[in-house]
């Protein structure tokens, strides 16, 4: 799977370990920054880069890391076609894909430890949208909402 990843300074320390983990699982990772720790950088820049990469079809899924995960999710969801959420547990990370077709995972590096982050990222990366009728119907309603903006 092609996965785009990005992080501001709050998420930066966890980005490299997540890249390494996903690569070891056979995924192709595109790193959209930050490429160094800059305490003055802004999470919307990295969320936008990852979200647009996913929305354009250049990646199958995206991961955005910031301090809390909140800013990353708020910003990612501004991009049409993106369904992003903060997940700090493994159930949400796979169920969000299976039921809601979540395509961008957001996490807060100040909230979770690296080991839990590994498990969450693995759950997200391996999950697939179930395609069940009720989930397709709900997804259709989301797409209708998006189309009406
Ligand atoms: C950056 O200091 C911090 O505000 C940001 O990473 C994130 O937590 C925002 O939601």
| Full pLDDT tens readout for the chain, 149 residues | 999 999 999 999 999 999 999 999 999 999 999 999 999 999 999 999 999 999 999 999 999 999 999 999 999 999 999 999 999 999 999 999 999 999 999 999 999 999 999 999 999 999 999 999 999 999 999 999 999 98
d(CA 106, CA 7): 10
Percent of the chain that is helix, strand, coil (3-state, to 5)? 50, 15, 35
Question: For residue 145, with 0-12 CB atoms within 10 Å meaning exposed, 13-18 middle and 19 or more buried, which class applies?
Answer: exposed
The structural architecture, per CATH, of the domain 2-147 is 3-Layer(aba) Sandwich (3.40)
Q: What are the residue boundaries of the structural domains of the chain, listed by start?
A: 2-147
Answer positive or negative: Cα dihedral of 59, 88, 100, 64.
negative
**Residue 144 φ/ψ, nearest 5 degrees:** -65, -40
Ligand 1 atom nearest the C-alpha of 66 is: 6
**Residue 18 φ/ψ, nearest 5 degrees:** -70, -40
d(CA 99, CA 130): 6
Residues identified as active-site: 66, 99
Q: Are 24 and 83 in contact (CB under 8 A)?
A: no
The residue to mutate among 71, 78, 85, 88, having the most atoms of ligand 1 within 8 angstroms of its beta carbon, is 71
67 Cβ below 6 A of ligand 1: yes
Atom 8 of ligand 1, nearest CA residue: 67
């Amino acid at each position: 799977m092609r996965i785009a990843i990005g992080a501001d300074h709050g998420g930066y320390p966890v980005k490299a370990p997540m890249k390494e983990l996903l690569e070891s699982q056979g995924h192709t990772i595109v790193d959209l920054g930050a490429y160094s720790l800059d305490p003055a950088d802004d999470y919307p820049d990295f969320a936008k880069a990852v979200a647009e990469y996913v929305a354009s079809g250049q990646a199958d899924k995206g991961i955005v890391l910031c301090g809390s995960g909140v800013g990353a999710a708020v910003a990612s969801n501004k991009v049409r076609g993106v369904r992003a959420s903060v997940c700090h547990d493994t159930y949400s990370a796979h169920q969000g894909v299976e039921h809601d077709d979540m395509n961008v995972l957001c996490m807060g590096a100040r909230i979770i430890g690296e080991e839990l982050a590994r498990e969450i990222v693995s759950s997200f990366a391996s999950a697939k949208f179930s395609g069940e009728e009720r989930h397709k119907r709900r997804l259709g309603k989301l797409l209708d909402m998006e189309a009406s903006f």
